[in-house]
Chain A
């Protein structure tokens, strides 16, 4: 009897709140179809050889083995990591420093600077890359022209042995993200109570000291968030190097600008039809994104909980 009654209660509850279920239904339905299903299917497909049309051949982990044997994959991984890691230095440190300066009330016109630094975020990456391709041009580019004032030889950024393509991509990555990081950090700093800064000043702390000992520790959750966001951005890096190397899919000279995402899309569906192999690549990228996110949380999160324990 009791069991029937509770069951009835549950159904009564569900009936009573049927509007609420209707409100949240779109998300769960769409996520089941376009979220969970592709992710599960991707794992399944990665164990097959499949061109998308004919029958699928189960080949076990051969896709993964071939992937790890492919020097081009390692090249793409290396390029992605080099671009991502080096470009993180200016966007993190520069973003923090700029936010601190704008927050310090030493300069006026905070909103003008903020607006200018944020402009790249609302512009199409394709359009911006077309401009940068021109600025980085070998014979007629503005950057080489500026360098020539300092007696420098023309640098073949986008050609040569291909390694400088990465530098160009880094510049674009930093140019685009520094303002975004700065605005987020600035908002975070403005959330910190002024009393803390005042107290530190009375104690005789200089600006660097305040930034290192007060702002950064208090902003840690926000910094962690931006680092994870931009490292996901790093693994999805595609548009900039793709356009910069004239939509070549191979990343220009010596694959200097080949990124993981470009490698993946070139296997399928854009360049070829190796759907099984491409799924394996997608899964390897995913695992790396998860590992990096966990790593960032671990490095920063443990220290934070440690501090909280101390305080208690």
Chain B
């Protein structure tokens, strides 16, 4: 390992020297480092695509394949025979979409109420809400699981959708957005025009909240789509598996067919990755929104 370390150190020293001595070398060094890191970030994705076009024998040969093979169609057939990807995709969609929709509805309602109405006990209730954000959910994981089994929610999507669908973070975040973007005069005007409170919320306020819906929606969607631990505990029937669970089954049951396994990994990763690449700015601001808007 030492030779390799020394090489890396030498490269680093070289880059610093280039940056200091040669005019314009600073730019070169920076690009060099940035591109190297970008290469490392992309490599696993690239290898995943490459390996899903090879046979298992080709994957298990030395040197490893670094360019696309010709076995994609066969891998696809094997994958179709082994697991039900469309079903897992559908399961993932049902859970994620209904969870996200509920989160958006409940959190925007809660956030709006905390931002606009001066109801008695508002401050205290909001403090309670903030305090709940500090509690790590790990503490209740075992009773949570027992509760789910007592409710008969093992092997039921409800266990993954309902418990978290009105979360404190979402309400807090929506409240911040409402405070900055919903003018109280607008609410007053709608009230004078004779709108009921529910109409005001769904017809007047909800359209204003669209950007906030998009950010919060992306955040929740990505997290739930990729979640592994909770589905692992809850969904024990093959036909109910989400995509990450299906991958896990493939490793334990079909671990011998690596090409098909890589292809199913690709299938699990690709939908979100494409969506991300199409609207990366949107995703990044959505996913990090909670961290930046304090």
List the interface of chain A (C-beta within 8 A of B).
10, 13-14, 16-17, 19-21, 23-24, 26-28, 30-31, 33-35, 37-39, 41-43, 45, 52, 98, 101-102, 106-107, 111, 113-128, 130-132, 134-135, 139-142, 145, 147, 150-152, 155, 175, 179-180, 183-184, 187-188, 191, 221-222, 225-226, 229, 232, 235-236, 238-239, 243, 246-247, 261, 264-265, 268-270, 275, 278-279, 282-283, 285-286, 289-290, 293
Contact = CB atoms under 8 A, between A and B. Distances in A.
B143 A269 contact: no
A142 B64 contact: yes
Residue of A14, A45, A247 with most chain B CB atoms under a 10 A cut-off: A247
A167 to B, nearest CB: 11
A268 B149 CA distance: 13
Contact of A42 (B117, B142, B291): B142
Interface of B: 1, 3-4, 7, 26-27, 30-31, 33-34, 37-38, 40-45, 47-48, 51, 59-64, 66, 106-107, 109-110, 112-114, 117-120, 122, 125, 128-129, 132, 134-147, 149, 162-168, 171, 197-198, 201, 222, 225-226, 228-229, 232-233, 243-244, 247-248, 251-252, 255, 258, 261-262, 265-266, 268-269, 272-273, 275-277, 280-281, 283-285, 287-288, 291-292, 294
Nearest to A274: B142
Residue of B226, B285, B288 with most chain A CB atoms under a 10 A cut-off: B288
Contacts of A120: 41
A23 B229 CA distance: 31
Given A131-B44, A132-B44, A238-B229, A34 B63 contact: no
Contact of A179 (B31, B41, B269): B41
Contact of B284 (A45, A124, A183, A229): A183
B64 A140 contact: yes
Contact of B147 (A34, A119, A226): A34
14 contacts: A20-B113, A27-B171, A35-B132, A41-B140, A117-B37, A122-B276, A124-B243, A132-B44, A140-B64, A150-B4, A152-B1, A152-B4, A226-B291, A285-B138
Contacts of A286: 136, 138-139
Contacts of B277: 115
Given A124-B226, A124-B247, A264-B141, A147 B4 contact: yes
A81 to B, nearest CB: 16
A219 B127 CA distance: 26
A145 to B, nearest CB: 5
A26 B280 contact: no
Contact of A27 (B62, B129, B226, B232): B129
Given A134-B59, A141-B64, A24 B110 contact: yes
A111 B281 contact: yes
A122 B277 CA distance: 10
Given A125-B228, A247-B252, A286-B139, A20 B117 contact: yes
B139 A39 contact: yes
A235 B4 contact: no
B294 A221 contact: yes
Contacts of B266: 127
Nearest to B114: A24
